[in-house]
């Protein structure tokens, strides 16, 4: 009797495993062809020098040496970090404050939400086009409105900030959505208790909301950092090929695109993207380490 049961059980397990393999097969085959082979292929490619349209020769670390000796690479890495320094803190802090406001019951809440979330569904290509027009030095709304004459997207010292502002404007809605869903998980009694103790809104915010929301905040910061380090669309749409700000603004993914698809230098393109990969993995690793220290888990 026991034996029969065992046999039945192992047959059931085998059948379960067969079904499971059948279910994961499409995804796993797809991931291998579309993602894992490409990772290896890109790394291999970064050791080859591209010649003409199709030819290539093994070059060892030559591409990496070229990339590291070229100030463009370092400048692009720096530009990418600078962009992240604008986009991430501002979009997170502003979104947190707005989310706390929007989490209260009040008149017009759904109107505000609709407006704030609107950029989430807009193609960055269109968003960047409009902002570029707003930023236009001679005819743009911003310079006209303030009577200024700033070269928002042409001045090497300003353009990275201008594009960072578009980035903040674009991702604000996402961050607010995530913060609101995090806020709704904080039990209301904490606030009630605080109110009885006589703690005001600002003290409640710093003593209850900020620590209890820290897992959400950490998640958002992490996602935003990775997103900002791979910024491309805004750069591509806003920066003219002739812009004087190009060198001081273009991001890593932007120069990757230029190497790989505009200049058809796949070897250098692969090298740049591998450097970016290593950098991002490093950042991810540091963030994971930080998580235990800064996040408050209940």
Partner 1 sequence: MESVRAKQRLTRIVIHVILIIVSIIMIVPFLWMIITALKTNQEAISINPFYIFPQAGLHWENFSTVWKSYNFLLLYINTLLLIVLRVICACLTATMAGYAFGRLRFPGKKFLFTLVLIQMMVPSQIFIIPQYVMISKLGAVDTMFGLLFPGIVTAFGTYLLKTGYQGLPMDLEEAAGIDGCNTGQKFLRIMMPLTRSSMVSLGIFTAVFAFKDLMWPMIVCPTITKTTLSAALAKMQGQFSSDYPSMMAGAVLAVIPMVIIYVIFQKQFVEGIATSGGKL
Tell which one of 47, 83, 152, 256 touches partner 1 (CB under 8 A): 256
Decide if residue 220 touches partner 1 (CB under 8 A).
yes
Decide if residue 24 touches partner 1 (CB under 8 A).
yes
Smaller CB separation from partner 1, 24 or 157: 24
Smaller CB separation from partner 1, 23 or 68: 23
57: β partners: 49
Tell which one of 151, 212, 221, 253 touches partner 1 (CB under 8 A): 253
Tell which one of 17, 93, 286, 290 touches partner 1 (CB under 8 A): 17
Decide if residue 38 touches partner 1 (CB under 8 A).
yes
- Map the footprint of partner 1 across residues 171-200, applying CB under 8 A: 171-172, 174-175, 177-178, 180-181
Decide if residue 221 touches partner 1 (CB under 8 A).
no
- Map the footprint of partner 1 across residues 96-125, applying CB under 8 A: 98, 101-102, 104, 106, 108, 111-125
Q: How far is the CB of 135 from partner 1 (least distance, A)?
A: 11
Decide if residue 93 touches partner 1 (CB under 8 A).
no
- For the stretch 240-243, contacts whose Cβ atoms lie closer than 8 Å and that sit 24 or more positions apart, written own/partner, are 240/153, 240/154, 243/153, 243/154, 243/159
Smaller CB separation from partner 1, 39 or 193: 39
Tell which one of 20, 65, 282, 294 touches partner 1 (CB under 8 A): 20
Contacts of 125 (CB under 8 A, 6+ apart): 233, 237
Smaller CB separation from partner 1, 157 or 288: 288
Decide if residue 280 touches partner 1 (CB under 8 A).
yes
Decide if residue 286 touches partner 1 (CB under 8 A).
no
Smaller CB separation from partner 1, 133 or 157: 133
For residue 167 the two structure tokens come to 């980035």
Q: How far is the CB of 133 from partner 1 (least distance, A)?
A: 6
Q: HEC profile for the chain? A: CHHHHHHHHHHHHHHHHHHHHHHHHHHHHHHHHHHHHHHHHHHHHCCEEEECCCEEEECCCHHHHHHHHCHHHHHHHHHHHHHHHHHHHHHHHHHHHHHHHHCCCCCCHHHHHHHHHHHHHCCHHHHHHHHHHHHCCCCCHHHHHHCCCCCCCCCCCCHHHHHHHHHHHHHHHHHHHHHHHHHCCCCHHHHHHHHHCCCCHHHHHHHHHHHHCHHHHHHHHHHHHHHHHCCCHHHHHHCCCCCCCHHHHCCHHHHHHHHHHHCCCHHHHHHHHHHHHHHHHHHHHHHHHHHHHHCCCC
Decide if residue 223 touches partner 1 (CB under 8 A).
yes
Decide if residue 77 touches partner 1 (CB under 8 A).
no
Q: How far is the CB of 201 from partner 1 (least distance, A)?
A: 7
Decide if residue 64 touches partner 1 (CB under 8 A).
no
């Amino acid at each position: 009797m026991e034996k029969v049961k065992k046999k039945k059980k192992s047959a059931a397990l085998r059948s379960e495993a067969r079904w499971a393999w059948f279910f994961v097969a499409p995804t796993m085959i797809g991931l291998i062809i579309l993602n894992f082979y490409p990772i290896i292929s890109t790394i291999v490619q970064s050791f080859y020098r591209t010649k003409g349209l199709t030819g290539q020769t093994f070059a060892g670390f030559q591409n990496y040496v070229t990339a590291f000796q070229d100030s463009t690479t370092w400048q692009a890495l720096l530009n990418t970090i600078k962009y992240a320094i604008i986009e991430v803190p501002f979009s997170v802090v502003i979104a947190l404050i707005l989310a706390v406001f929007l989490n209260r019951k009040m008149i017009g809440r759904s109107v505000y939400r609709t407006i704030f979330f609107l950029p989430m569904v807009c193609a960055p290509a269109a968003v960047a086009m409009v902002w570029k027009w707003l930023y236009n030095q001679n005819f743009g709304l911003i310079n006209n409105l303030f009577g200024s004459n700033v070269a928002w997207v042409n001045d090497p010292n300003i353009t990275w900030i201008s594009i960072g502002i578009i980035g903040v404007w674009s991702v604000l809605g996402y961050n607010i959505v995530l913060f609101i869903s995090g806020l709704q998980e904080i039990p209301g009694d904490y606030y009630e208790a605080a109110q009885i103790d006589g703690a005001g809104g600002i003290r409640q915010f710093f003593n209850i909301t900020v620590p209890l929301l820290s897992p959400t905040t950490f998640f958002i910061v992490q996602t935003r950092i990775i997103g900002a380090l791979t910024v491309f669309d805004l750069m591509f749409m806003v920066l003219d090929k002739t812009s004087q700000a190009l060198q001081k603004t273009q991001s890593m993914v932007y120069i990757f695109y230029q190497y790989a698809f505009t200049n058809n230098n796949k070897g250098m393109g692969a090298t740049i993207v591998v450097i970016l990969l290593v950098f991002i993995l490093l950042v991810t690793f540091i963030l994971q380490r930080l998580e235990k220290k800064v996040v408050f888990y209940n």
